[in-house]
Amino acid sequence: MLVDEKTVVDSLRRVIDPDLKTDIVSLGMVKELKVEDGKVQFTLELTTPACPYNKDIEDSARKAVQSIPGVKEVDMKVTARVWSARTLGAGDSLSSVKNVIAVASGKGGVGKTTVAINLACSLARSGAKVGLVDADIYGPMIPKIVNIIQPPRIVANNKVEPARIMLGIKVMSLGLFVDENTAVIWRGPLVASAVRQLLTDAAWGDLDYLIVDLPPGTGDASLTLAQTIPLTGVVIVTTPQAAAAVIAAKALRMFRRLGIPIIGIVENMSYFVCSHCGAESRMFGNSVTEKMASELDAPLLGRIPLMPEVSTNYDKGVPIVVADPKSPASKALNEISRNIAARISILAHESKAKAEKM
């Protein structure tokens, strides 16, 4: 039986992206299709290398073509091109950055920086191009807890080439330019200016994801970020206690009022995992995060266990997802990064659909 391109395309239309609820042909994920003498060649371009359903989509696409009578061979190349969920305005200084993700919390001590760094590493391990901004002006921590492989330097047009850490991640932090023993005693306008410069004075180049680790609360840094560049969305980090959830909810509502999409909520220190027997203990009692997420109509992206190894590896300058990828904390963080990547693809798809209707 003679196989033609139309038959192959029709068969691939039966493959549905589980997140986007649309077939892969309509999504433009099928590229460079060639059919000759029963041999089918095409490229499957996924929406992100970190999607949790990538393997399912790959297998379904291959089976859909193999099931066509007359097909003798299937040569499917798999690539990924991250979709942008940002609405770029005129003169956007970060036009080469596809997605800017703020990581925020209502209060300190919930592990927001831990989530931000490991999210960056997890996305980079999947094959994405990633940058990381430490926007905590008063207490910049990132240069202290990751090994700097290449320091920042001045390049053309008085731009700064960001520092590099593992996995090729680009990093900007005030801690790279100020002595760690020097206290930053600045009022609001200077803080806002510093955050703006960390973002816009850096030569980021092409990035799929730029993670911005915000200071706790809803102050100058958060407002400056929201008003300086279009954001893809925000991830809110909290812990299981009711008090932490109340403050996290306030932060979420603030971003929502500013028109920033909510990517979801991450619960850190959800439970303690015994290193000897693997038993789980709820150190902070029953969690209220799921109830909060439901009330605020925000996705719960995942829960991260409390493990001493996270802290001890920080002291060595290596995030847990790199130091011990098979640990319970790493598995939770990797799942969260995949869920975030999937949410961003959904936001990008929804944004594109709205634009087409206008």
Q: Is the dihedral of CA 288, 210, 109, 308 positive or negative?
A: positive
Q: At what angle do helices 5-12 and 54-66 cross, to 10 degrees?
A: 140
Query: Mind giving me the DSSP string for 59-84?
Result: HHHHHHHHTSTT--EEEEEEEE-PPP
Return the exposure string of 144-160: e unless at least 16 CB atoms fall within 10 Å of the residue's CB, then b.
Answer: bbbebeeebeeeeeeeb
Q: Kindly state the DSSP code that residue 207 receives in the 8-state scheme.
A: B
Candidates 126, 102, 95; CA nearest to 116 is 102
Annotated binding site: 106-113
Contact 217, 138 (CB under 8 A): no
Annotated binding site for ATP: 106-113
Beta strands 100-104; 233-238: pairing state = parallel
Candidates 338, 109, 104; CA nearest to 213 is 104
- Consecutive H or E run containing 220: helix 220-228
The helices-and-strands tally (H runs, E runs) of the chain is 11, 17
Q: At what angle do helices 112-125 and 328-357 cross, to 10 degrees?
A: 80
- Consecutive H or E run containing 88: none
